[in-house]
Structures are given as structure tokens and as C-alpha cells.
Amino acid sequence: MAYKTIDPQDVKTAEVHALLLGAIAPRPIAFASTTDLEGNVNLSPFSFFNVFSAKPPILVFSPARRVRDNTSKHTLENVLATKEVVINIANYDIVEQMSLASTEYDRGINEFVKSGLTPEASVLVAPPRVQEAPVSFECKVNEVISLGPEGGAGNLVICEVLLMHINEDILDENGKINPYKLDGVARMGGDYYLRANGDCIFELPKPVKNKGIGIDQLPAHIRNSTILTGNNLARLGNSETIPTIEEVESYKDEPIVAYTINKFKDNPAALRQELEQLGKKLLENNQVQEAWKVLLINQ
């Protein structure tokens, strides 16, 4: 594989910006509502955003200085002045309205009005929340850290969550947020976004509590397979134990396994390949123990 190596000091800031945003994706979006000292409301999205702590609950987003003219954004000026912000979470239902709110209107122009979104009075802070947002966080601003004086420099706005507002329609029966009901959106590079729904969402079991055996402990014929991917091997490596010889022998009676063994009994290389393909399918269906048994046949 060929790689292009770039020193950020050797290229224009706009190019560095584009490469960073294209590579570090998808990024969650802070749809931030703020007010100035006169009470004028501002609403704008920022994709330099994430959660950094649960106790205290801390969110951090970064309104960067504009690359083209090194000016600061109204959101930054407002949080510096008032130390308050509401971070709304946008979903697919309002993604285009959120994008419209990113327009650089003049100071004093209310992006709620321009985007057609509904301001809902907050409880503990002055900025309103977005009524249509599935989740909103009322926050006080603990600190703002400037990362530099030049265009493109970020400003880390460290926000402590005071209240959370969650639309009950997105909760599951256990009171947890259902990602399919949230229908969240994320920022990619350029004009690209991601809709976090459908096939984009998948479950991945966390590493087992008592430590998996690791890829390095897999049998050589599995570890060196040309069919199994690194993800497949990691799923096997997350196992605490592997099936016994007796369990593997018993699994040979499974119809699909017995059929495969009988069909390729005179061609050991083809049989190994078919068993690895079957093992791969089982792993991708999260049938890990079954995959182990298939892959250990005729090792």
C-alpha cells in the first residue's frame, strides 16, 4: 500500500482542515443555542464535539476561528460572555434545518426563525432549547480554552450538564435511548453526513470480563487464514475458552457441516476453504462457539 505523508506546516490550513474532517468521521454534532448579554438568541451546529465525563457530566465542543479571515463565531462570543449554552442533539428529521442554521447570518439574527425551529424555554439557563430535538442538555460553561490565535484554531468550550431533556418516544422499554428511534446524524468531510440508522447500526460485544485468549493464541491454521478477516479473528480472540475435541466431533453431525464434509472429503484443501467460509458466516451471525467448532474440524 502506498501512503501520502503530509506535514501540516507545509500545506494551507484549509487543506489540513479538509483532510482532518474527511478522516476523523463520523463526528457527532452539537447543535448549540446561546444568547448574548442583550438576550439575542443564536443557534448553530458544531461537529467538533463529544462527551468527556459522566460525573460530573461534561460535554466539550469547539467553535473554531474562521480560516478565511480569522474571526470568531457568535457562539464563542456568547459563551464567553454568559457562560451558558444548550446543546441540542439533531436527528434526521431536522438535519436540513440544522444545516440551514449554520448560515453565517449577521449578529442579532435569530437562527430559530431562519430555520423554522421552535425555541422552548429552558429551566436553568437563559438560552432556549430546540423543541424538535430528541435530546437537549442545559449546560453551564466551566471553561473556554483557546487553542491558538490563528484562523482554524479551536476553542474548547467545556460544558457541565445541569439538566437533560429527552423525548420519551426515543426510549426503549428499559428507559435507554434506542438508536433506531433516535435516528441520529453525524458529520463527515465536505458536504457528507451520516444517518445512524438501518444497516449503519450494528452491535459488537465488549471484550469478555475475564479476558479473551487473543488473536495470538488462535490455532495457526485459523490465524493464517486467507478467508477470515482481522475482525473475524478478533471475535474468536474474544473467547475465554475454545470447544473441546468432543464438542467439535459432535458438531460434525450438523446437517450443513456433514454435507460439506461429505462433498469435499476427497479434496482436503477445498474442504478447509469451505469450512472457513462457513465459519466466517457463523462469526458474522455472532454464532461464535459454532464457528469455533467448524474451524477446528480437521485442523
What is the layout of strands, in order, in the sheet containing 30-35? 41-46, 30-35, 84-89, 135-146, 155-166, 57-61, 49-54
The CA distance from 234 to 241, in Å, is 14
Distance of CA 186 to the CA centre of its chain: 8
pLDDT at 194: 97
Predicted local distance difference test score (pLDDT) of residue 40: 95
Per-residue confidence (pLDDT) for residue 159, from 0 to 100: 98
Spatial CA neighbour of 136 closest among 88, 179, 207, 103: 88
pTM: 0.87
Output the pLDDT for position 68: 79
Q: What pLDDT, on a 0 to 100 scale, did the predictor assign at position 97?
A: 97
Strand partners, 187: 27, 193
Instruction: For CA atoms 76, 78, 83, 88, give the dihedral sign.
Output: negative
Identify the pLDDT of residue 178: 97
Domain chopping of the chain, boundaries: 8-200, 215-295
CATH superfamily assigned to domain 8-200: Electron Transport, Fmn-binding Protein; Chain A (2.30.110.10)
Cis omega (within 30 of 0) on the bond before 26? yes
Q: What is the pLDDT of residue 64?
A: 87
Average confidence (pLDDT) per 10 residues, the chain, 299 residues: 94 92 96 96 97 98 84 91 98 97 90 96 98 98 94 93 98 97 97 95 82 93 96 94 93 94 92 95 94 90
68 close to 158: Cβ distance less than 8 angstroms: no
Question: DSSP class of residue 37?
Answer: T
pLDDT recorded at residue 182 = 98
The pLDDT, as a whole number, for residue 299 is: 67
